[in-house]
Each structure stands twice: as C-alpha cells, then as structure tokens.
Amino acid sequence: MRKKPFQKSSLLAFRSALYSALFIGIVVGIAAHFLLDTTLPKSFLLGGGMFLLSGVIVYFVTYKQQFHRLKVLDQINKNILKKRFRDYEELQTKNHDELDYLIKQSVRASKTVEREIQRLNRIENYRKEFIGDISHELKTPIFAIQGFIETLLNGAIDDEEVNKKFLEKAMRNVNRLIYLTRDLMEISKLETGELKSDIQNINLKETIMEIVNNLQYKAEKAEVLLKTDIPKDYIVRADANQIKQVLINLIDNAIKYNVEGGKVTVGIKQWAEDESRVLVYVKDTGIGISQQHIERVTERFFRVDKSRSREDGEGTGLGLAIVKHIIQAHNEELFIESTPNVSSSFSFTLSRADFPTSKAERTN
C-alpha cells in the first residue's frame, strides 16, 4: 500500500537531508584525508560521522521549517476537493517564501471556488424557481384553450350562439401565451445579461412624447386622461429602446389599474438628491397598492389581483420585473409610492448627459 504523505515523517526533508549530508560527509572525508593527512579508515569514519550528524540536523531543520506548512497546504486542498470552505483568516504566513506564496494562492483559490459554487447554486435555484413559475403560468391559458376546443368539438361548433364566443375566448388565451412568451424572452435576456444596454445621449421629452402619443388610444378606451408635465427638456444617457419599454410598462399599468375618469401624469423633474440626475415619474389616480404589496410588485409573476391583471389579456405579471431589470442595468433607481384607492407613483432616475459632472460622464 502506498504510504500516505503528511503523517509523521517528511520525504521532502529526508531527501534534502540525504543530499546535503552526502555532500558534507564526502567533503569532510576528502578534506580530512588530503589536508589533515588522516588515515583512510579515519577519514571514512569522520566523513560518515559528519554525514549522520548533518543529515539529522538538516532533516529536523527542514522538517520544522516546511512540514507544518505543507500540512496546512494539504488540508486547504483537501477542503477544496471536499467542497468544505473554511475561513482562513487566522492563518499566518510570515516566512515570505515560496511555500507561503502557495498557501496564500490556495486560500485565494478556495475563496474563488466557494464563490463560484455559490453562484452556480444561486443560478440553479433561480432556474428551478423560474421553470416552476413558467409552467404554472402556462397551465392556465393552455387548459382554457383545451377546454374551449373540446367543447366546440363536442358539438358546440354547430351552436350559432356560442361557437364564435368560444373561439374568441380561445383566441384571447392564445394571445396571453404570445404576450407571456414575449415577456419571458425579454426577462430571460435581461437576467442572463444577454441584452446589453446601448447607452447613448437621448432626448427625454421626445422619448416620453412618442410613448404617450402611442398609448393615448388605450387611455381613451379606458376613459382615463393621459397627460404630461414636462417643464424642461433634458438630454440623458440611456438605452432609448429600453427606456421606451419601461415607459410603456409603467403607463400601461397606470391606465390598467386606474378607475373610469381617472388620470395618468407622466413627467420629468430634477432629482432632489443628486443634481446630475432627473426623475421620470408616472403617476395615476387608480386603485393603488397596499404597503405590504409594494415591495413585491417587481417580483416575477407577482400580481395583487390576478383576475384584474389578466382582464385585458396582456397582464403577464412580468411588466414591473422587466422595468426593475432595465433600471438596474442602467445603474439607476426605481421608486414606488402608493396609497390604496387614491394614487400610485412609479418613478426612476436617469443621468443627465448635459450636466458637467454627471455620473454618466464620470464613468465614461
């Protein structure tokens, strides 16, 4: 059986001792014979004695110097192999030699592997959770479509009164699946970092006006007044398409979760906390969100009222999660304030490009 290293003796120290003792023994033997004129047997004896003495000394000195640290190194590597990650804070490396360097490198490797394993575990948990959420979300529309088609096949197709209604309902659920797929693709790209923000100088007023004009028909349909409050124009550093997506999701919600005759205001103002940034807000006079739900509305698939979210067929429960990701990718802040049955305000910061010491310019 192969001898296990790091138990009692050190092979490394033994080898160093053997080579240096051999060298010392031979040199002493030769020197004694030729320089001191000692007889050959005496020279042998002297050389042999020196070989033993220096061997023992070198062995113990090397052993003391290296063995403990080699054992430490061995333990760190064993821990890494067994995925046991310790805190090596108290480990002392004061010899400043190659062994200390290797110990430090191993501690660093242990930390890196630990972090990587934690990251992979997080991704794995996220993946499991995500798949669970998706299957749950897909189930409802798929079963609904199956139900309508089955009823039609079982005879309802010939019933003039219901056949069109059932087909329309099936179609609405197909649309839900389409919206869900669209948002899922968007969020997975954002979460995996595949969708990088293309930061450019953009005209904020123009961007807002384009989205507000596009959503005007929706507001009118819901009998909600959609207006803007933009006293001053700003050039900001942002990804235009992503900011448009944020605005669409926020304004869409402000219309959707509003009341008949309600109001939605989209505006820009200087952010009080940092003059290099502006605050874009979407304020509504809708149903509001209770305090306990505010923190959760940006979670994937979280909805305060599931049926209301799905009423128009577009509510996927991913809109605000997408908003949060885009704002985070811009290194900006998102704020949500709300009073149930009174109003809600969703606002986010953007860095001014026209401000001399703006964050955007500092990081460029």
Q: By the criterion CB under 6 A, which residues form the site for ligand ADP?
A: 249, 253-254, 257, 284, 286-289, 297, 302-305, 309, 315-321, 344
Nearer to ligand ADP, 119 or 136 (CB): 136
- Nearest-approach distance from CB 349 to ligand ADP, in angstroms: 19
Q: Which structure tokens are listed for 148? A: 């309508």
Kindly tell me which of 121 and 214 has the beta carbon lying closer to ligand ADP: 214
> Least distance in Å: CB of 132 to ligand ADP?
18
Of 169 and 293, which has the nearer Cβ to ligand ADP? Answer: 293
SS3 202: strand
* Least distance between ligand ADP and beta carbon 94 (Å): 56
CB of 353 vs ligand ADP, minimal distance in Å: 29
Burial class of residue 341 (count of CB atoms within 10 Å of its CB; 0-12, 13-18, 19+): exposed
Q: How far is the CB of 289 from ligand ADP (least distance, A)?
A: 5
- State the residue number with the nearest CB to ligand ADP: 319
Q: Which is nearer to ligand ADP, 29 or 286 (CB)?
A: 286
* Residues present in the chain in total: 364
Kindly tell me which of 137 and 239 has the beta carbon lying closer to ligand ADP: 137
Write out 248-297 in H/E/C secondary structure. Answer: HHHHHHHHHCCCCCCEEEEEEEECCCCCCEEEEEEEECCCCCCHHHHCCC
Q: Which residues of 174-189 are buried (b: 16+ CB within 10 A; e: fewer)?
A: eebbebbeebbebbee
Q: What are phi and psi of 268, to 5 degrees?
A: -130, 140
Q: Of 55 and 319, which CB lies nearer to ligand ADP in the complex structure?
A: 319
User: DSSP string of 27-56?
Assistant: HHHHHHHHTS---HHHHHHHHHHHHHHHHH
Q: Report, in Å, the least distance between residue 193 CB and ligand ADP.
A: 21
Contact 59, 13 (CB under 8 A): yes
DSSP 229: E
Q: In whole angstroms, how close is the CB of 293 to ligand ADP at the nearest point?
A: 7
Q: Residue 180 Cβ, how far from ligand ADP at the closest point, in Å?
A: 10
CA dist., res. 241 & res. 233, Å (int)? 19
Of residues 3, 6, 142, the one with CA closest to residue 72: 6
Closest CA to 300 of 125, 129, 123: 129
Using the minimum distance from each CB to ligand ADP, give the nearer residue, 252 or 332.
Answer: 252
Nearer to ligand ADP, 106 or 249 (CB): 249
